[in-house]
Structure 1
Amino acid sequence: MRVGIATLIFSYVLSQFYRAFLAVLTPILELELGASKQDLAAASGWWFIAFAALQLPVGTAFDKFGPRRTTAACLALAAIGAATFATATGPLQIKIAMALIGAGCAPILMASYFIFARQFSPALFGTLAGITVGIGSMGDILGSLPLAMLAEAFGWRSAIWGMAAVTAVVALCTLILVQDPERLETKGAGSVWSVLAMPQLWPVLAMMLVCYAAPSALRGLWLGPYFHDVWGFDRVEVGWAGMAMGLGLVVGSLVIGPIGRALGTIKWVVFGSNLILVLAVTALWLRIFDGATAQLVLFVAAGVFGSTFPMVTAHARGFIPPAVMGRGVTLVNLCGILPVGIAQQVTGRLHAGLEGAADPATPFTAVFGYFALTTAVGLAIYLISTERKA
């Protein structure tokens, strides 16, 4: 079981890499392929939309067939998507590749969560989920400075070909090493609609709709163009900035869960962390602080305090019956991932509409404003949620 979980966690490293690496490659893809920032925002959005579209089918597959075969098959699809990216000649191929990779990454994190939910106590779920995300977030770091250096040394296509090969190997390891939990009888146990019928889950889902969008979209795309266009960072400097925010995501994922357990509360740790996230993004939006260093500190703060995805999932998991755990946790994941895809489409258009402004920071303030306002709305609704003990 342990080696199988380790394999899934390494798979999640790949998933985190694939959702973040565009930020580093944006300048070179604009130059070599003629891809605009709106094209790349759309490509990032396609990753999340494809990822989200498979959540409910993946949940059903977990309950019926187990996470081993489901995850291995999807990882093979991600490897095909990475190969498609490495051979792309224009924006459309980049979008198709990102959609294939997103679909391929769809079951990875939830496979671990499914096993945790079935094998461990609810009290440990949030901490185990946070550790998984924390370790997996090393992929976010891999998609920053290390990718920038590899692209400089060998070319971006070679770097992505290497990631495609690694993904194919991990797909095979998943098929061999992961062990499915004992299958439960799910006939007549309920459906995703029965999960949605629980009103105590709704405020938690409102929080899930917004808690991941800002940190994921900022790190996955907007960090690179922002520091390149506004502050003149080169590719390696963008890599350093991405690594700094990636480390923030790792730290937040590792410490927020244990803090919740120590304080005996999930709700108020989630609320407090996301309140700081809103304040950080609002400061970016209103340009309260000047200078590249201050802006990077705000991005890092958004990474640290925007790492509540596992804790919100743990909050929701407490309401989901075991027999529909696969469908339940993937429904929660759907609520976290789909808004990122939608946000990338919306913010790409917001940026494009203001791109001709005299001040290069103006298009980005619209992006930051979108995330500040939407996160604040979800946070306000979350206030009425029922407390769950950590």
Structure 2
Amino acid sequence: MKIGLFFLVIGYLLSQFYRSFLAVLAGMLQSDIGVNADDLALSSGLWFLAFALMQLPVGWALDSFGPRRSTALILGIGGTGGALVFGLAQNAMHVHVAMVLLGVGCAPVLMASYYIFARMYPPAIFATLAGAVIGFGSLGNILGALPLAWAAEAFGWRETLLALAAGTALISGVLWRVIQDPPAAMAPEGAKGSLLDLLKIPALWVILPLLAVNYAPAAGLRGLWAGPYFTDVYGASATQVGQITLLMACAMIVGNFAYGPLDRLLGTRKWVILAGNTLGGLCLLVLWLVPVPGFWTSALMLAAIGLFGASFPLMMAHGRSFFPPHLMGRGVTLLNLFSIGGVGVLQMLSGRMHSAASPVPPEAAYQAVFLFFALFLLAGCAIFAFAKDRTD
């Protein structure tokens, strides 16, 4: 089981890379195939929407077939195919198709590890384990920052993506060999096993709105808007953008490790989640009010948004605590659907906000994006304030 989990973390590293690498390649894609920032906003949003829409079938597959076949086959076909299409892309439509395939391919990896944690490990350490997977897997965020910029400039972005396609195929094959499926969970006599049973749990309805928006600002800024923002406002080079996204990626990794054990240290999940996300919303409001505070001040503000926006593992632990064992696969993927689906929708809407805002001065369009994310995040916090606290 441990070797299987190790390679699931490697697979999740690829997932983190594929959701965040567009910010670094933005300038190259624009000059080579005419893809602009709004096109990339749509492509990034399509990755998250494809990922989200796959969560329900992935949950069914985890409960029905286990994590080995579910993960290896979907990652192998979708992930490898998406990277190949991206490496051969000639226009924005090809990039859109590639990102959809990559979103499909990456969909089962994290949930497979969460499914194993929920079925095989004590509930009290779920948040810590969940945060550790994202923390280690977020090295993909780092690889999708400065190292990607170096590789793309040294070898070309097409060659880099084709090499990643080969690596994705290799990891999929290894996952087929090493993952061990947990024993099947038996439903209590007379209990149903449908999504509707999960939606009948009242406690979820005040958790889901914040879950739908809590990751969106960090993912949107790290995965897309950081690059155009620093390029347009500060005239940053690809290497400088790589440095900024690397800083933000490191902050997100720290956040994932920090949030994990806080529920046990402080005896609460609700108030840790609420405090962290409120601080993230306030950072966004500061950037809206002062959109050009200086190169490194802006970088530190984005890093803070990444740090405070890393509450996803703790929110998953909070929601998971309300699920019966025989619906664990469907339950964790339902939560992930709202989280990643929210990112996809808000990412595409943020592109509309950016294009609709005045381009003069250049920071005005990004002010609209910062305010957009801030309002949704703080609204989610207001609803979550009525959530039921629960720890294991």
Q: Which interval holds the TM-score relative to the shorter structure?
A: over 0.9
1:1-390 to 2 correspondences below 5 Å: 1-76=1-76, 77-186=78-187, 188-287=191-290, 290-354=293-357, 357-389=359-391
Work out the CA distance in 2 between the residues paired with 1:94 and 1:110. Answer: 26
> TM (normalized to structure 2)?
0.97
Residue 258 of structure 1 deviates from its aligned partner by 1.6
Cα 1:353–1:285 shift into 2, 3 Å: same
Q: Note the residue ranges of structure 2 that are not aligned, 5 or more in a row.
A: none
Alpha-carbon offset, residue 190 of structure 1: 2.5
Question: Judging changes above 3 Å, is the alpha-carbon distance between structure 1 residues 8 and 95 closer, same or farther for their aligned structure 2 residues?
Answer: same
SS at match of 2:323: coil
CA distance in 1: counterparts of 2:191 and 2:386, whole angstroms: 31
Could you say if the C-alpha distance between residues 288 and 345 of structure 1 is closer, same or farther in structure 2, counting changes exceeding 3 Å? closer
- Displacement of 1:207 in angstroms is 1.6
C-alpha displacement of 1:224: 0.6
Does the CA contact (< 8 Å) of 1:283 and 1:289 recur in 2?
Answer: no
CA distance in 2, matches of 1:133, 1:292: 28
Q: Is the 8 A contact 2:292 2:363 kept in 1?
A: no
> How far apart, in 2, do the equivalents of 1:259 and 1:312 lie?
12
Distance 2:346 2:152 in 1: 28
Q: Could you report, residue by residue, the CA deviation over 1:215-273 in whole angstroms, capped at 9, with x for unpaired residues?
A: 11110100111011111110000000000000000000011112222111111111111
- Helix, strand or coil at the partner of 1:252: helix
AA matched with 1:363:
A
How far apart are 1:289 and its partner, in Å?
6.4
Structure 1: 5+ residue stretches without partners:
none
What is the TM-score when the length of structure 1 is the normalising length?
0.98
Asked if structure 2 preserves the Cα contact closer than 8 Å seen for 1:189 and 1:324, the reply is no
* 2:291–2:367 Cα contact (<8 Å) kept: no
Q: Distance in 2 between matches of 1:360 and 1:118?
A: 50
Q: Distance in 1 between matches of 2:101 and 2:296?
A: 36
CA contact (8 A) 2:233 2:292 kept: no
Secondary structure in structure 2 of the residue aligned to 1:230? helix
Alignment check: 8 A CA contact 2:19 2:47 kept: yes
CA shift at 1:188, angstroms?
Answer: 4.6
- CA-based RMSD of the aligned residues comes to 1.1
Deviation at 1:352?
A: 1.3
Deviation at 1:185, TM superposition (A): 3.0
Q: Which amino acid aligns with 1:367?
A: V
- C-alpha distance in 2, partners of 1:358/1:190? 54
Q: For the residues of structure 2 that align with 1:249 and 1:113, how far apart are their CA atoms?
A: 19
Distance in 2 separating the partners of 1:85 and 1:188: 45
Opposite residue 346 of structure 1, the aligned amino acid is L
**Distance in 2 between the 1:359 and 1:184 partners?**
58
1:101 deviates by: 0.2
What secondary structure is seen at the aligned counterpart in 2 of 1:181? Answer: coil
Q: Which amino acid aligns with 1:388?
A: R
> What do the CA deviations read for 1:61-120 (whole angstroms, capped 9, x no partner)?
000000110100111121110010000000000000000000000011000000000011
- Work out the CA distance in 2 between the residues paired with 1:309 and 1:238: 25
1: distance between equivalents of 2:147 and 2:326? 42
